[in-house]
Amino acid sequence: MANSNAANALDAEFYQSAERFFPGQSGTALTYDDVTLATLYSEILPRDTQLDTTLAESLQLNIPIVSSDMDTVTEARMAIAMALNGGLGLIHYNMPEKQQLSEVSRVKNHVHGLIQEPIKVSPDQFIGDVLARIEEKRFAFSTFPVVDEQGKLLGLLSGSVVKPRYAKRKVAEALTPRDQVFTLTEKKLGKNPIAAADKFFNDHPGIHKLLVVDDDDRLRGLFTMSDIERITSERAAQFKPARDAHFRLVCGAAVSATRNAFGELDRDRILAHVGGLVERGLDAVAVSTAHGHTKGVGDTVKMLRDAFPKLPIIAGNVTSAAGVAFLADAGANIIKVGQGPGSICTTRVVAGVGIPQLTALYVCSRAAAEKKVTILADGGITKSGDIVKALTLAQAVICGGVLAGCAEAPGEILEIGGKLFKQYRGMGSLAAMKAGSAARYGHTTADTIRKVAAEGVEALKEVAGPLERTLAQLIGGIQSGMGYLGAANLSELRQRARYIRVTAAGVKEAGAHDVVEVKTGS
């Protein structure tokens, strides 16, 4: 016993808890590569670790990874893929507000168990109107139930007739009539609607849509076979999709603290837009700026909190305890931490301001615990080991650069010298600010015509294949880290982490060295 006490005391002297380590380094700002985590006794196999994380009461993720609200990272396609893999995508705001609304709709309508409010058409519409709506809302489907004004089912408009050649025909002429449409009544769904729908599709080969009606034949919902198949196959997956209470994929969207022509916060516009996002089922709004500890961001968060008492609000960015407390007091639930760590950021170079990320996370995490809010480690993640270190202090990480080369990120693929690349640019780069993100850096879009100092660069990332592949590498790394620390879940990871500083020689030793590398691990 004495021996093991001595051994533990020796370890504790070198490998210190966050509470001892970070205050012991006060006066020095540290980032991921400045420290390493110590191994601990473990009975945990990496594959058995749990990665679910609660960001706010109504926002739980199954993996602690969020894709950044940047115009070269997250639109609907990325947000769908992130949620399907258990994470969250934050749709950027460098686009017309109307488009952001439809991007959110695309995510929220993507896969459902029972689609409770299916998009319907009326019999006197023209097929051309239906086509225009599909285009406008960017629907990924083209079969619609047809209902009368009371919501009674009249038939089904099949995707096979929603074609430009039939544009001038009325829906009433082209629909599959009611008596040929398969339906189930709500009562027949029983306690396990997914199983009932699964059985229906088994029993009716070739039928891909099942409508649900009430006793008066009013439409109550819709099942699609592909949704049911996906849901049944998900049960086997370790990291299930992140869904809301209605079984829709989760989706976040960013907004800025927009100002009107008089330089005042544009309250009406922000409230109307966020109201539209909430109507579409938004799970979290992110008030996303480079400097979150400001009156404009505080006022925006307060206004949104008053208007939407239950909506999870993400706000930032900050790097101080006072910044966290300020945003939490304003009503934010989730605080973005990071000023200048991003791979495309030049804030620290241009403005001389910002804090290396691990120290910022420690300071902010302690303030967040006091205020009972959560934090997101935003920027500077280049490898899975960085995520493990970040998760010892934060509830999740936000990634830009490591996801920007994935197929689901927006943007064209370019070929340069036989290699394939995708564009990745800072939201504070001149090009992105001209496209709309100027408010994030305290400028107006008009300012960008004059000379303002960019705080980000335009860059390229090598094409990286599907998001699922990149996430599998990152998740594998997080699980390995947790196995080394004997942490079965993320809360244990936060409690058990022990830190020590490394020198430049230690950083060199950590990577592959003194070999001719022929194949990387990924």
The one segment of 158-166, 221-229, 372-380, 445-453 that binds ligand XMP by CB under 6 A: 372-380
Using rule CB under 6 A, residue 379 touches ligand XMP: yes
The one segment of 152-160, 243-251, 399-407, 415-423 that binds ligand XMP by CB under 6 A: 399-407
Q: Closest Cα to residue 427, out of 79, 68, 88, 104?
A: 68
* Least Cβ distance, residue 85 to ligand XMP (angstroms): 17
The one segment of 106-114, 125-133, 171-179, 375-383 that binds ligand XMP by CB under 6 A: 375-383
Q: Where are the beta strands (DSSP E) in 256-373?
A: 284-288, 313-318, 334-337
Q: Tell me the C-alpha to C-alpha distance, in Å, between residue 251 and each of 58, 77, 117, 446.
A: 12, 11, 18, 30
* Least Cβ distance, residue 122 to ligand XMP (angstroms): 43
Residues 52-81 that bind ligand XMP (CB under 6 A): 68, 70
Helix H or strand E encompassing 499: strand 499-501
Distance CA 366, CA 90 (A): 25
Distance CA 442, CA 257 (A): 9
* Least Cβ distance, residue 376 to ligand XMP (angstroms): 9
Which candidate in 251, 345, 399, 406 is catalytic? 345
Distance CA 92, CA 69 (A): 4
User: Does 251 qualify as catalytic in the annotation?
Assistant: no
DSSP-derived pairing of the beta strands 413-416 and 419-425? antiparallel
Nearer to ligand XMP, 232 or 445 (CB): 445
Site string for ligand XMP, 326-365 (x = CB under 6 A): ------------x-x-xxxx-x------------------
End-to-end CA distance of the chain: 43
Nearer to ligand XMP, 120 or 383 (CB): 383
Radius of gyration (C-alpha) of the chain in whole angstroms = 25
* Least Cβ distance, residue 295 to ligand XMP (angstroms): 21
Which candidate in 220, 425, 440, 498 is catalytic? 440
Residues 152-191 that bind ligand XMP (CB under 6 A): none
Using rule CB under 6 A, residue 252 touches ligand XMP: no
Exposure string of 469-480, with b = 16+ CB inside 10 Å and e = fewer, is ebbeebbebbbb
Q: Tell me the C-alpha to C-alpha distance, in Å, between residue 97 and each of 266, 317, 453, 479.
A: 14, 22, 26, 38
* Least Cβ distance, residue 321 to ligand XMP (angstroms): 19
String of DSSP letters for 352-398: S--B-HHHHHHHHHHHHHHHT-EEEEES---SHHHHHHHHTT-SEEE
* Least Cβ distance, residue 416 to ligand XMP (angstroms): 20
* Phi, psi at 475, each rounded to 5°: -65, -40
User: 132 in the Ramachandran plot: left (φ > 0), alpha (ψ -120 to 50) or beta?
Assistant: alpha
Site string for ligand XMP, 273-302 (x = CB under 6 A): -----------------x------------
Q: Closest Cα to residue 276, out of 422, 100, 148?
A: 100
CB atoms within 10 A of CB 501: 14
Nearer to ligand XMP, 146 or 254 (CB): 254
How many residues of this chain bind ligand XMP (CB under 6 A)? 25
Using rule CB under 6 A, residue 197 touches ligand XMP: no
The one segment of 43-51, 325-333, 356-364, 373-381 that binds ligand XMP by CB under 6 A: 373-381
* Least Cβ distance, residue 425 to ligand XMP (angstroms): 7
Using rule CB under 6 A, residue 111 touches ligand XMP: no
Helix ranges restricted to H, 95-250 = 97-108, 127-137, 171-174, 186-189, 193-203, 225-234
Q: Tell me the C-alpha to C-alpha distance, in Å, between residue 91 and each of 28, 68, 74.
A: 35, 8, 5
Using DSSP, state whether 193 is helix, strand or coil. helix
Using rule CB under 6 A, residue 380 touches ligand XMP: yes
Residues 402-461 that bind ligand XMP (CB under 6 A): 426-429, 455-456
* Least Cβ distance, residue 399 to ligand XMP (angstroms): 5
Q: Tell me the C-alpha to C-alpha distance, in Å, between residue 75 and each of 101, 165, 220.
A: 11, 31, 30
User: Does 440 qualify as catalytic in the annotation?
Assistant: yes
Catalytic residues: 345, 440
State the residues that interact with ligand XMP by CB under 6 A.
68, 70, 290, 317, 338, 340, 342-345, 347, 378-381, 398-401, 426-429, 455-456
